[in-house]
Amino acid sequence: MDFDKILKELKESMIELLGDQYAGLKKETKNDIITFVNDSKDKLERWTKLLANGGISLDEYQWLVESQKDLLTMKGLEKAGISKISLGHFKNKVVKTLVDIVKGLIL
């Protein structure tokens, strides 16, 4: 399992997700996504290896990733006046995208 490849795919897909939802704000929030993935890298790598080796289930993996959601600070979107509710929905999409990408790459 090449975790660096997974990490690169995660960053690209989440930035694309961001661009789809907030096309005019992609530049402002790209760094927020990259910071979140980099800050969570060690945990994501450990959890992804556990998932790949059968040490945890996909549901447990998703729960662990969701526990990192508060690290995702969307300063660019907050400055643009996006509501906290919309930010919460976006964070949920980021978690779902992350889990779906890992699931597709290793399961």
For residue 4, what is the DSSP state? H
| Domain residue extents for the chain | 3-106
Task: Say what percent of the chain tops pLDDT 90.
Answer: 23
Residue-wise pLDDT tens digits, 14-49: 777 776 666 666 666 777 778 888 888 999 999 999
Task: Say what percent of the chain tops pLDDT 70.
Answer: 90
On the 0-12 / 13-18 / 19+ scale of CB atoms within 10 A, 81 is: exposed
Across all residues in the chain, what is the average pLDDT? 83
Show Cβ contacts of residue 37 under 8 Å, excluding neighbours closer than 6 positions. Answer: 7, 10, 11, 14, 44
Taking CA atoms, 78 is separated from 25, 44, 73, 74, 75, in Å, by: 11, 25, 9, 6, 5
Higher pLDDT, 38 or 54: 54
Number of CB atoms found within 10 A of residue 10's CB: 24
